[in-house]
Structure 1
């Protein structure tokens, strides 16, 4: 199938840990993530402010900033099951911390994620139901952005792929078949 593929890249800095990893990634560390969103279209807009475009790059940037940058940049991405780590972010110790963690987990169960700054030191915290690997982040952000891309492009474009660069040499892709 012929068509157009447009890509926008943003970068964020965030910490994470993979609690079950058998090597050094089980430790708290951070990355300079680069995230690419690629959208495909079989035609271009033929009128309006997106005339001649599959999707305005500025529109795509706005959506990526809202879904990825705003809640995650200079924050920490955690797995809901990582109770020891979450306790470090809890605003209080003891039973208040347990209630705070339970509320985060409930939000994750209902929404697929939780974002909070109600943390010790006011840190940004983004909680997922899965380990925060590059693969899982790519799938998660793809699922959160897909409908926004369709809406912002008036149905002309669809999100084809999210690529998450964890290092300059390592990345993971998630997207539609044949992207």
Structure 2
């Protein structure tokens, strides 16, 4: 049976600030992110399986990505926990704001690497994560491909 790639699209709103950056993005700002998740595998060939003919049920893929990425990041603000933004993050948290402290500079490039690791761990063994595309603006995106890693 042939390998097939399937893709599901997600969107979420997240803020961040890039400490030490030499441009506007050093300021707290947000994006309407668009995430494309592509997996590759063989469609299920067992006609008795309720998922017969599918690589993965889109609903199952949705649950994985929402649990690991979307529901965690939607309407949150990301800061690198190793920057002076830590004091600001604690203040925002004390005021009931959703703040996430990352181990990395929260750029699209680093975020997509983080997402790939989280999603790969949750996929059924019969398939692989093929690629991710994280669109930050209408004209800018970062991509991760398994073949490059």
Structure-1-length-normalised TM-score: 0.76
Q: Secondary structure at the match of 1:122?
A: coil
Q: Secondary structure at the match of 1:177?
A: helix
1:146 is aligned to 120
Q: Secondary structure at the match of 2:10?
A: strand
| 2:133 matches 1:163 | yes
Deviation, 1:39, is 0.2
| 2:98 matches 1:124 | yes
Structure-2-length-normalised TM-score: 0.90
Q: Distance in 1 between matches of 2:138 and 2:3?
A: 29
Q: Distance in 2 between matches of 1:156 and 1:145?
A: 14
Per residue, is there more helix in 1 or in 2? 1
What is the total number of aligned residue pairs between the two structures?
146
Regions of 4+ moved over 4 Å: none
Q: Any stretches of 5+ residues in structure 2 without a counterpart?
A: none
Q: Distance in 2 between matches of 1:72 and 1:178?
A: 26
1:36 is aligned to 36
Q: Any stretches of 5+ residues in structure 1 without a counterpart?
A: 92-117
